[in-house]
Amino acid sequence: MTAIIDYGAGNLFSVKNALDYLGIENIITKNADDLKNADRLILPGVGAFPDAMRMLNNSGLTEIIKEEAKKKPLLGICLGMQMLFEKGYEFEETEGLGLIKGSVKLMTPKDLPIPHIGWNELVLNNSCGLLQKGGEYVYFVHSYAADCPSENVSAYCDYGMKVPALVFSGNVYGAQFHPEKSGEAGLEILKKFASL
């Protein structure tokens, strides 16, 4: 069972639609026991870092996620990926989940507009459980990006700067792009996550 964590800020139904389509058993939940009983967790997210962290903290799930992430695979998507880091700097400094080393800062692409919206190519940096090749185009919508050690980056994309697109640390994974909106390439990544 894959638990999609519902803390009030997410593209939950798109993720659920994609998992349903792939025949991956899943549940949208804010119940602590569901998170403990699940085989793996997905943390979605849309919006701003401080609001989302506040909502997650208010839901009482923060400590449970940190604890469960030691035992089972966790995938953060978009803002959910950014929340895996130690700190975020959107509007104000906010403490993240601290599951991957690094912080999240406003993008500074040279001569290109932000947000970074559209299909961009994954360039492999380190092979991980979700990606072995690179070269796939996936769909991005974001203005902030992770600043983290290269060893935690599975793939970058090029948008006037090297943008960490897929990150990992142990069994914690984060996708800056939306696998649930990235066609076949995105579904493939979700399928790999479900078989971890």
Which residues of the shown chain bind another protein in the complex (CB under 8 A)? 13-14, 17-18, 20-21, 46-47, 113, 115-121, 137, 139, 141, 158-159, 180-183, 186-187
Closest contact distance (angstroms) between CB of 9 and another protein is 12
Tokens 């897929």 locate to 166
For another protein, which is the closer residue by CB, 32 or 141?
A: 141
Of 120 and 152, which has the nearer Cβ to another protein? 120
Residue with Cβ nearer another protein (44 or 102): 44
DSSP string across 129-150: TTBSS---EEEEEESEEEE--G
Q: What dihedral do alpha carbons 146, 148, 152, 156 form, nearest 10°?
A: 50
Judged by CB, which is closer to another protein: 15, or 172?
Answer: 15
Residue 34 host element (H or E):
helix 32-37
Q: Tokens 């403490």 — which residue? A: 95
Distance between CA atoms of 84 and 42, rounded to whole angstroms? 11
Closest approach of another protein to the CB of residue 24, in Å: 13
Closest contact distance (angstroms) between CB of 191 and another protein is 12
CB 73 within 8 A of CB 173: yes
Minimum CB–partner distance for residue 158 and another protein (Å): 6
Active-site positions read 78, 178, 180
